Amino acid sequence: MSSQGGISTVQSSHGAGNQSVSKQGDWDLPPIKDIVSDLSGSSSLLPAQSSESFELEEQQAMFHALRDIIEKAQEVDEGGNNFDLKELHASLEEADATTKRGRRDADSLQSVVGTLNKLWNSKSEYLVQATEIIANGSRDPSWRVPFGQSGILKFFLDVISLKDGVDTSLLLQSLRVIGNSCADTDENRDIVVKGNYTLAIIRYFLDPELVFIAIPVIYNICMDYEPAHAQIATNRTAYILLKLIKDGEIEDNEALLNFSYDLIELASEQAEGIEKSPDGTILLLMELALDETLQFSHFSSLVTSLAAYLEKERFQAVCVSNDMVEGVLDVLRRSFSIEVDQSSAEDVKAIAQLRLKINQALSEVSASPLFSQHYPLDSSLSQTLKSWVVADEDQLQICACVMLGNLARSDEVCQVMVRDLKIHEELIFVLNGESRGAVLHSSLGFLKNLAIAGDNRIILGEAGIIPAVSRLWAYESVPQVQFSAASIARQVIISSIDNISHLLAPLSIDPDSPANQRTYLSLLLSLFEKSDSTPIKTEIGRTVASICRTVSPKARDEDEQANALLGKLFTLHEGLALPLGAMITQTQWPVVRSEGWFALALMATHKLGCAAVVDCLHKTEVTELLKTTLGAEPSSQETTEETDKSQENKDRDNAFILVKELLKNEAGTLPLGYRDMLEDLVKVHTAQLRAIAGA
């Protein structure tokens, strides 16, 4: 953003602000005067005005001398008194575009400082006129640095730092000098910030005759100058401006509103300033954002600021404990009705970013431990979110899934959501529709939470979760969706024969259809073959392992359903054991590797499973790992890496069982020479175990 230049006189159109404490519910909104009085800034270093006086002729001479210094270099702007606030931006651009006449000499201005001090000390009526001349001169960029170096800027900073006894006209012209001198001039801004003079200027936000000049002055000081951002934030500028706008003190001036909303957003980017803001700041941000007459640029500043406040735990707690989360939901909903220039790519992108910011803020708020206490499942907010699960707007759906998912932190809540509220049915409806990837991802995340508790897995299976997620295993454009969809399949079949039956169900009930010989697990194995993602491959492997872990023990107990499932598992699924090989060969998760060895050993206990195991040994690097695992010395000593050694020993035991079961059940499936290699491994490992036992 460019700075605001060419500040001239402006006229106030409002009376004094309401200074009484306003409240809404349990919110205290402190008066601005109380906020300002709690802050401390620089004191004026101007000497007290003396009783010494100069003859009128002498005052005139001093004034004329000061005027001549300025006018010799530059003609005074005669239109200053009627300057329109809307022209502030344009005036600076025009000034910068003109040919520069070179920097003024700061030394030549020393006499001006002396003259100003004399006029001040004598309470001269010419001081206001002299200040106006300097203010007009400061509109020329070439004067700005010399004004700072000579001490002229400091003089007027000290003038406005005096709290009492200064004529309003002098204050107005002094503010003009400061604002113009700081436009795009970091040297002068540094003078202001080092002395914390921004607070003195902010105090004039309370003055109905000066607020219309004080706000543009702060704007000039802040634009593209980071140190000033931090200072105005610490001086609680965001709250002060929000309160002024809410109280209607500057609502009739569009240019001033533009400056104010920009400053609110700047101040809200500073963490320290946010921490110092009153609790009611977020109420003001929400209420203003919901104003039906608000233009998009102002809405953008308010929402960006609100999201910044809600990143902080303090304001998350304030929002929840004061039952204001509904207000944030309303802001998100408002983002879909506010007028946006659809022909502007920048505006379209901006509104999308704002919705993401609000959703992120709501995600953080709903993750607060206080959230579930204030918003139980039977609250109106929860009912609103439930209706949003199948809303027409993506970001409303995502919001609902994330926030309700954050509520689903206990088995009891998850069971109520599924058993009583039947939220899973709406989520499965979303999965079966044409939703975009982000919505699918959030819906899947919510379902994963729900699938953990109690009997929810069974209910989800009966509701058709397997067919619903199976179509997403081919969702190649968003790998996160593929992963979550595969993960849910694993989640719902854990210890569930019924859901394993759903996973092994034919894709078509028509016996003449080729799909009758393919199952949903076949689709998952197809994803394994196509995917380059280790997490996806591993999740599919864990699904196969879970099937073996659940069905094999029941089959050994002559369970008819389990034996039938094992038959389908081994006869209909080529490459069934390859995902287990991926679990073993990955190096990121040792526990997953052990799970793979165990599942492969379970598979080898069945004659039909041995063929799948042999296929895995041929097509993967598992054979080499098998040799390494069984050929290494077993550890019998405790070390600093005791957990790692325990894991290695577990892997070795499972690999040993795998080889023994394979030798017992392979029924001629092993190629020539392969059986001899496995028998040698058994002998070596057995000898090692005996050596340890005899030690």
Dihedral of the alpha carbons of 163, 169, 171, 175, in degrees to the nearest 10: 160
User: What pLDDT score does 350 carry?
Assistant: 94
User: What pLDDT score does 321 carry?
Assistant: 92
Q: Does the pLDDT of residue 55 top 90, yes or no? A: no
Q: Does the pLDDT of residue 193 top 90, yes or no? A: yes
The model's pTM: 0.81
User: What pLDDT score does 80 carry?
Assistant: 38
Over residues 501-529, the mean pLDDT reads 92
Dihedral of the alpha carbons of 124, 128, 130, 133, in degrees to the nearest 10: -170
514 within 8 A of 563, measured Cβ to Cβ = no
Q: Does the pLDDT of residue 73 top 50, yes or no? A: no
Over residues 25-38, the mean pLDDT reads 74
CA of 60: how far to CAs of 48, 55, 57, 67, 310, in Å? 22, 9, 5, 10, 58
Confidence of residue 251 (pLDDT cuts 50, 70, 90): confident
Q: Does the pLDDT of residue 374 top 80, yes or no? A: yes
Q: Does the pLDDT of residue 620 top 70, yes or no? A: yes
Confidence of residue 40 (pLDDT cuts 50, 70, 90): low
Nearest residue to 603 (alpha-carbon basis) of 627, 558, 648, 573: 573
User: What pLDDT score does 694 carry?
Assistant: 63
User: What pLDDT score does 98 carry?
Assistant: 33
Buried-exposed string 582-614: b where 16+ CB fall within 10 A, e elsewhere:
bbbbbeeeeebbbbbbbbbbbbbbbeebbbbbb
Q: Does the pLDDT of residue 410 top 50, yes or no? A: yes
Phi (first) and psi of residue 29, to 5 degrees: -115, 95
Confidence of residue 66 (pLDDT cuts 50, 70, 90): low
Q: Does the pLDDT of residue 43 top 80, yes or no? A: no
Distance (Å, whole) CA 405 – CA 668: 52
Q: Does the pLDDT of residue 86 top 50, yes or no? A: no
Distance (Å, whole) CA 330 – CA 350: 18
Nearest residue to 470 (alpha-carbon basis) of 481, 450, 485, 451: 485
298 within 8 A of 365, measured Cβ to Cβ = no
374 within 8 A of 319, measured Cβ to Cβ = no
Which residues neighbour 496 within 8 Å (Cβ) at sequence distance 6 or greater?
A: 457, 458, 461, 550
Topology (CATH level 3) of domain 30-35+55-70+105-278 = Leucine-rich Repeat Variant (1.25.10)
Amino acid, single-letter form, for residue 108: S
What is the per-residue DSSP string for 441-488? HHHHHHHHHHTTSTTHHHHHHHTTHHHHHHGGGG-TT-HHHHHHHHHH
Over residues 384-388, the mean pLDDT reads 96
Over residues 574-594, the mean pLDDT reads 93
More confident residue, 625 or 515: 625
Q: Does the pLDDT of residue 600 top 70, yes or no? A: yes
User: What pLDDT score does 53 carry?
Assistant: 56
Q: Does the pLDDT of residue 362 top 60, yes or no? A: yes
Amino acid, single-letter form, for residue 595: E
User: What pLDDT score does 85 carry?
Assistant: 34
Q: Which of 74-83, 441-450, 475-484 has the lowest mean pLDDT?
A: 74-83
Q: Does the pLDDT of residue 65 top 60, yes or no? A: no
How many whole angstroms from its chain centre is CA 160?
Answer: 40
CA of 646: how far to CAs of 212, 238, 584, 602, 659, in Å? 74, 58, 17, 21, 20
Q: Does the pLDDT of residue 214 top 50, yes or no? A: yes
More confident residue, 108 or 285: 285
CB count in 10 Å sphere of residue 655 = 25
Dihedral of CA 628/632/634/635: which sign? negative
Over residues 585-614, the mean pLDDT reads 92
Over residues 254-259, the mean pLDDT reads 92
Q: Does the pLDDT of residue 636 top 90, yes or no? A: no
More confident residue, 308 or 109: 308
Candidate ranges 141-145, 489-493, 678-682; pick with highest mean pLDDT: 489-493
270 within 8 A of 229, measured Cβ to Cβ = yes
User: What pLDDT score does 68 carry?
Assistant: 55
User: What pLDDT score does 105 carry?
Assistant: 59
Q: Does the pLDDT of residue 168 top 60, yes or no? A: yes
Nearest residue to 232 (alpha-carbon basis) of 191, 187, 269, 273: 273
Confidence of residue 61 (pLDDT cuts 50, 70, 90): low
Percent of the chain whose pLDDT exceeds 70:
83
Q: Does the pLDDT of residue 77 top 50, yes or no? A: no
Q: What is the mean pLDDT of the chain?
A: 84
